[in-house]
Amino acid sequence: MAEINIETLTIGPIQTNCYIIWVENNDTCWIIDPGGLAKSILRKLDQLNLVPEKIIITHGHWDHFIGNRGLKNTFPTLKY
C-alpha cells in the first residue's frame, strides 16, 4: 500500500497552516489552504520535487486562499 505524505507549512500574516499532500513515489500533489504568498509554497514544492495538480480551500476566509493567484500563475493548469 502506498504511503500518503503530508507536509505542513505555517505561512502568511497570521500563520495559517497550509498542507501539501502527495502519495509516495508520485510527483504530483494537492495543496490545502495556501494562506500566504506563493513564494514559500513554491520553494517547498521545489525541495520536494512536486508539481501541484489541485488546490483545496477549506473555507472562504482570506487567510486560506491568498496564495492562490501566485500558484496559478506558476502552474496555469492547476485546478481548484
At residue 2, the pLDDT reads: 82
Nearest CA-CA partner of 45 in 67, 64, 66 = 67
In the chain, the number of structural domains is: 1
Domain-embedded: residue 28: yes
At residue 80, the pLDDT reads: 85
Q: What is the pLDDT along the chain (80 residues), one digit of tens a residue?
A: 789 999 999 998 899 999 999 999 999 999 999 998 899 999 999 999 999 999 999 998 888 899 999 999 999 998 88
Domain-embedded: residue 30: yes
At residue 23, the pLDDT reads: 97
Residue 11 lies in domain: 4-53+63-74
Domain-embedded: residue 79: no
Domain-embedded: residue 69: yes
| CB contact at 8 A, 48 and 38 | no
Domain-embedded: residue 80: no
